[in-house]
C-alpha cells in the first residue's frame, strides 16, 4: 500500500473538501506541509481495502511536535486526502498506533 500512496502522491495530492474543513479547524490547524510529511515519511497503521470510497489507509506521522493522522486514498492520477486530524490520547494508544 505504501508504494501506491507514494506513487499517487508523487503525481499530485488532492485535498478533498472534508479534509480542508478538518485541517482548518482552530483546535487542529494542520498545515499542508505536515500532511505532505505524513504521506512521504509517515507509517501506514491501518489499511481499508474494502472502503466504499475505494482503497484507502490511515497514516501516522509523529516526528513533529504534534502527531497527525491522515486518511488518504491512492488513485491512478493523484492521492486523495480524505481527512486529517490530531489523534486523541483518549482514543489511541500512547504511540497513537492502536485504537483503544
In a domain, 60, yes or no: yes
Instruction: Assign residue 17 the CATH number of its domain.
Output: 3.30.2310
Q: What are the distances in angstroms from CA 96 to CA 1, 18, 25?
A: 20, 22, 21
In a domain, 92, yes or no: no
Compute the average pLDDT of residues 92-100.
96
| pLDDT tens digits for range 7-51 | 999 999 999 999 999 999 888 899 999 999 999 999 999 999 999
Compute the average pLDDT of residues 69-74.
98
Residue 71 sits at φ, ψ, to 5 deg, of: -100, 125
**Is-above-0.85 flag for pTM?**
yes
In a domain, 100, yes or no: no
Give the chain's mean pLDDT. Answer: 95
Q: Which residues contact 54 (CB under 8 A, 6 or more apart)?
A: 73, 75
Closest among 48, 25, 26, 27 to 80, alpha carbons compared: 48
> Domain range for residue 44?
2-85
In a domain, 91, yes or no: no
Compute the average pLDDT of residues 71-81.
97
Are 73 and 49 a contacting pair, CB within 8 Å? no
Residue 63 has what pLDDT?
A: 86
Domain count, the chain: 1
Residue 17 has what pLDDT?
A: 97
Distance CA 63, CA 75 (A): 26
Amino acid at each position: 500500500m505504501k508504494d501506491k500512496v507514494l506513487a499517487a502522491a508523487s503525481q499530485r495530492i488532492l485535498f478533498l473538501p472534508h479534509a480542508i474543513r478538518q485541517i482548518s479547524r482552530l483546535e487542529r490547524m494542520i498545515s499542508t506541509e505536515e500532511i505532505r510529511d505524513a504521506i512521504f515519511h509517515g507509517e501506514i497503521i491501518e489499511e481499508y481495502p474494502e472502503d466504499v470510497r475505494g482503497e484507502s489507509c490511515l497514516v501516522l506521522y509523529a516526528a513533529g511536535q504534534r502527531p497527525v493522522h491522515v486518511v488518504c486514498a491512492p488513485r491512478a492520477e493523484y492521492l486523495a486526502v480524505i481527512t486529517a486530524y490530531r489523534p486523541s490520547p483518549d482514543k489511541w494508544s500512547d504511540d497513537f498506533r492502536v485504537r483503544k
